[in-house]
Amino acid sequence: MITHGNEIKLFAGNSNRPLANAIAKKLNTMLGDIEVAKFSDGETSVHIGETVRGRDLFIIQSTSSPVNDNLMELLIMIDAAKRASAGRITAVIPYFGYARQDRRARSRDPITAKLVADLLTSAGADRVLTMDLHAAQIQGFFNIPVDHLLGGPTLYNYFASRVSGDDFIVVSPDVGSVNRARKVAERLNCPMAIIDKRRPKANVMEVMNIIGNVEGKKCLLVDDMIDTGGTIVQGAQALVSAGATNIYACCTHAVLSGPAIERIEASPIEELVMLDTIQLPEEKKLKKIKILTTADIFAAAIENVYLDKPMSKIYD
């Protein structure tokens, strides 16, 4: 049981209650009394049912689908806590939505990730705790402290037992994931390959070639998120065509929108391992999908923030 001068309070919205409950259990506490509902016209309604004056609050909410509803829930919960005189408010956002809109890809495009950062700060958040931002530099969009946790260690520890000899290789499904895949390959002490591709338009991928030898190898595709499944599935098919024997895949954030489930089910991927930053509906839980929890990581990070301890051990 953690102890501190100001009592810790954990609250959660509706986006990922199972993860929030698991985090609370790890901390030997319970989620606070909060009602997050909707008025008849669709407006979000929030009521905190217990005192939070001077308390250290952690509000757990992934801004996953429905993104705008979950984002508004988070903003209104933060505002409610601020107006109730909470001592310090930390927004715990396992999955940070709008992270892919981190730059102007075309003229007159918004930078929505920056807008969301400003909204969270304006609502009253004093700190943000998140995991595997699509672009790490989004941390710089905030004028408040951001603790950026890593999901990679949980994933590569799961696959460590699969590595034997020189028949295992880590594969980056695109150039953008090279640094992430390189870290996993270094930890697993195995080689790495890269799938070179081009994307004619959004959510449409064309594989060009594979940099590295995957023939006769067990391949692990590593990405931060899987959305429609196009990138990871076409990458798996390209690896099979190049002579790979077994295809595994892993990601931190399982967005799995649109045709993702059908694509993954029909793909040569034998096992897809993901973290629970986004709650996966029962109808999407395929037999080849394995979900690992992040509750212990977030619980440790929350405790360190609460007790003002360094975060370096968690990062390591």
Which residues are known catalytic residues?
197
**Dist. CA 180–CA 309, nearest whole Å:** 27
SS3 269: coil
Tokens of 217: 């190898």
Which amino acid does the sequence have at 150? Answer: L
Tokens of 129: 């705790």
Strands 246-254 and 204-211: unpaired
- How many residues does the structure list for the chain? 316
Q: Count the neighbouring beta carbons within 10 Å of the beta carbon of residue 135.
A: 16
Residue 205 dihedral angles phi and psi, to the nearest 5°: -125, 145
Q: ∠ CA 281-276-68 to the nearest 5 degrees?
A: 65
**Pick from 279, 301, 253, 278: which is nearest to 23 by CA?**
301
Contact by Cβ (8 Å): 71, 63: yes
Cα 238 to the chain's mean position, in Å? 26
Mention every residue, 6+ apart, whose C-beta is less than 8 A from residue 227.
203, 255, 256, 257, 258, 260
